[in-house]
Amino acid sequence: MDVPESLAELRRQYDTARRALDAHHRATKTAVLEWSEQQRAESVALQAKWQEVAAEFRAAIEESGLEAKHGSFELGRAIRKAAYGDDYAGE
């Protein structure tokens, strides 16, 4: 399946945003209830960025029509393969 480069790029952006959020949470090394206001603000900003990219990615997938044509599982594999190569797609 031919996956537009724009979908592959959005997948990379989605993964980067999620990793940044995860890294922030790991770096705090404390319970969320013990976070400073700055840590909470950083977390909120990272969460918002991730959600923004996720919404853009979802909209691009729907607009492409590829999910309806090939199914979500196959499209997901194809996007990961386009974004990261054969190894990441599990082939």
Band of residue 29 on the pLDDT scale cut at 50, 70, 90: confident
What's the mean per-residue pLDDT of the chain?
93
| pLDDT of the residue at 6 | 97
Between vectors from CA 20 to CA 63 and to CA 72, what angle results, nearest 5°? 30
- Between 33 and 88, where is the model more confident? 33
Q: Is the pLDDT of residue 30 over 90?
A: no
Q: Is the pLDDT of residue 50 over 80?
A: yes
- Coil, strand or helix: which one is 19? helix
Q: Is the pLDDT of residue 9 over 50?
A: yes
Residue of 49, 39, 62 whose CA lies nearest to 15: 49
Domain segments of the chain: what residues? 5-84
Report yes or no on whether pTM surpasses 0.75: yes
